[in-house]
Structure 1
Amino acid sequence: MAVQSWIDVLKSSKKTALIHDGKRKIHYLFKGGKEMSEEYDLKTDELLVRKLRMDSTLGAQGQWLVEVGEPNAVPVASVDSEVIKENCSNPVFMRKDTKTSFQWRIRNLPYPKDVFSVTAEPSERCIIIRTSNKKYFKKFDITDLDRCQLPLDGSALSFTHANNTLIVSYKKPKEILTLEQDLLKELKNLKGTSDGDVDCKTQ
């Protein structure tokens, strides 16, 4: 799917807008029943949340998958159930973009910066984070580049480490910046209700 066809898919989708709590919430319904939900900051136009959902093969409503924003919270188990809860000191991986970069934050990584290696693997179309102490390994793709069939460029990649958090940034290519500006113009023209029928409940 090239840049043009992805913007066409977005523009041809059924969109509903809801203005609430200082955010512009957009719900997209695509052909085939796939849904996407986005939230933008009204003041800065920054994308805060993007979630996608697809019906299961049996037609049941699927779970929302978070692409941008805080990962879904794990439901708290009742006191008497024997559920193994995730350790709150485990690394937490989330994507939080800026206007000019795709950005990922991995919290709870208390190692010095020189332990980390962050590389782009163009042949595998992914980014790999490794640590020399073998304590953390993560492989992930940039879905925005994949949707638009844009190459992965290692020179666009950088990372910093502060407050036990590794921050990985990938400079957005000009095609993505143009697409986002075009889409934002269209979203701002949507008639946003303040209590519409958009399914934007926090999952």
Structure 2
Amino acid sequence: MAASSTWVDLLKNSQKTCMIQEGRRKIHFTLTDGRELAEEYDLRTNELIVRKWKKKSTLGGAVKWEFEVGEQLGPRMLEADGLMESNVNPIFVRKDTVPLFQWRVRNLPYPLETYSITCDEDQNIIIRTSNKKYYKKFRIPDMERCNLNLEQSNLSFAHANNTLIISYKKPAAILDMEKTLHSEFSKLKANKDGDVDCRPS
């Protein structure tokens, strides 16, 4: 639990700005190392809808937000100017629920038996298809921040509407940590009129 306490303390000690908007609690963190973190939670369910990061630029230029949970709305632009990602390519997005880490891969039309999803010894989750049409390796940053190892028994998947849905059951340590954070966030004096300073008193 020491590692999760470190993460909780990092967020508690950061400078925070919060607001309530469109049924969401939106919190912006400026961490002690200069990184920015933005999170959005459903006010009714406490589900995490968005988590995105902005790292300090070494040259002081503009830096794009990197999404850990949720996705950027609107067309996805590629690095080359003027190019847009095809809407038929597989799209990998993390969308959690309260009890589960969850990912969706849209535009995968193959039947359920095509997929093999495993945890490896390096703490990766790997998606493979028997027809070799799709391969993806990814990690769970939340588990890494708490120094928790993956267990294959917590992993499950389903397929519907051309979408592969991968779920990983959150261990008790993660659920306890999230409960602690929600308790802290509920104390923030956010309002509906705009951002307010929510640094710890």
**Structures share fold, TM-score greater than 0.5:** yes
Say yes or no: does 1:154 pair with 2:146. Answer: no
Cα displacement (A) at 1:47: 0.8
1:82–1:29: structure 2 CA closer, same or farther, 3 Å change rule?
Answer: closer
Distance 1:140 1:75 in 2: 20
Structure 1, unaligned stretches of length 5 or more?
199-203
Secondary structure of 1:31 counterpart:
coil
Say yes or no: does 1:90 pair with 2:66. Answer: no
**Residue of structure 1 equivalent to 2:7:** 6
Say yes or no: does 1:117 pair with 2:122. Answer: no
**Residue of structure 1 equivalent to 2:103:** 104
**Residue of structure 2 equivalent to 1:131:** 129
Cα displacement (A) at 1:76: 6.5
Q: Quick one: which of 161, 171, 174 aligns to 1:163?
A: 161
In the alignment of these two chains, the number of paired residues is: 194
Distance 1:49 1:87 in 2: 23
CA contact (8 A) 2:77 2:83 kept: no
Q: Quick one: which of 169, 178, 181 aligns to 1:180?
A: 178
Secondary structure of 1:55 counterpart:
coil
Cα displacement (A) at 1:133: 0.3
Cα displacement (A) at 1:152: 1.1
Cα displacement (A) at 1:49: 0.6
Secondary structure of 2:179 counterpart:
helix
Distance 1:82 1:194 in 2: 37
Written as runs of structure 1 = structure 2, the 5 A alignment for 1:2-81 is 2-71=3-72, 73-74=74-75
**Residue of structure 2 equivalent to 1:196:** 194
Distance 2:142 2:61 in 1: 27
Distance 2:3 2:33 in 1: 19
Write the deviation string for residues 14-44 of structure 1: whole angstroms up to 9, x where unpaired.
Answer: 1111001111101111012101000111111
Distance 1:157 1:76 in 2: 32
1:147–1:72: structure 2 CA closer, same or farther, 3 Å change rule?
Answer: farther
Structure 2, unaligned stretches of length 5 or more?
197-201
CA contact (8 A) 1:18 1:25 kept: yes
Cα displacement (A) at 1:72: 5.7
Distance 1:71 1:146 in 2: 24
Q: Name the amino acid aligned to 1:167.
A: I
**Residue of structure 2 equivalent to 1:201:** none
Secondary structure of 2:186 counterpart:
helix
Secondary structure of 2:97 counterpart:
coil
Q: TM-score, normalised by structure 2?
A: 0.90
Identity of aligned residues (%): 53
Distance 2:185 2:101 in 1: 20
